[in-house]
Amino acid sequence: MLICEDDPGLREFLRIALDGDFRFAETADGLEAVALAREIRPDVVLLDVMLLGQSGLDALRQIRADPELKATPVVVMTAFSDVGPSEVEAAGADRFLKKPFDPLELIETVEDLLARDR
């Protein structure tokens, strides 16, 4: 699983909430997010909208443009009220989570996306 989040505390929260069978790679940088996705081919990408380097939505567009990554499930997360489900869906996100979100909602979202690929 690839966690792309600029807040170290939230990255830790995500790891703890999803602790289990996952191996995690992490970054706070949108450019590095795309490079890591290409390198590790994650089962799921958790992608914040606000990242260093480039936005999460720009990173998402690059992931969707890559033939080897275009089917990778991506969950976009944000606390910004000016970014909503329709915008992240248009960029190619599979799911949208508005911060703050319940850990159970995160777990259910990830499990649902992983079950979809089986």
Q: What is the reported pTM?
A: 0.91
Q: Are 88 and 76 a contacting pair, CB within 8 Å?
A: yes
One-letter amino acid of 18: L
Total length of the chain = 118
pLDDT of residue 81: 64
Low-confidence residues of the chain, pLDDT below 70? 81, 83-84, 117-118
pLDDT of residue 28: 96
Q: Is 17 helix (H, G, I), strand (E, B) or coil?
A: helix
Structure tokens at 42: 């994650």
Give the domain extent around 102.
2-116
pLDDT of residue 52: 92
Number of domains in the chain: 1
Distance between CA 58 and CA 34 in Å, rounded?
10
In 1-118, DSSP assigns E strands to 2-4, 25-27, 45-48, 74-78, 95-98
pLDDT of residue 59: 96
One-letter amino acid of 74: V
CATH of the domain at 63: 3.40.50.2300
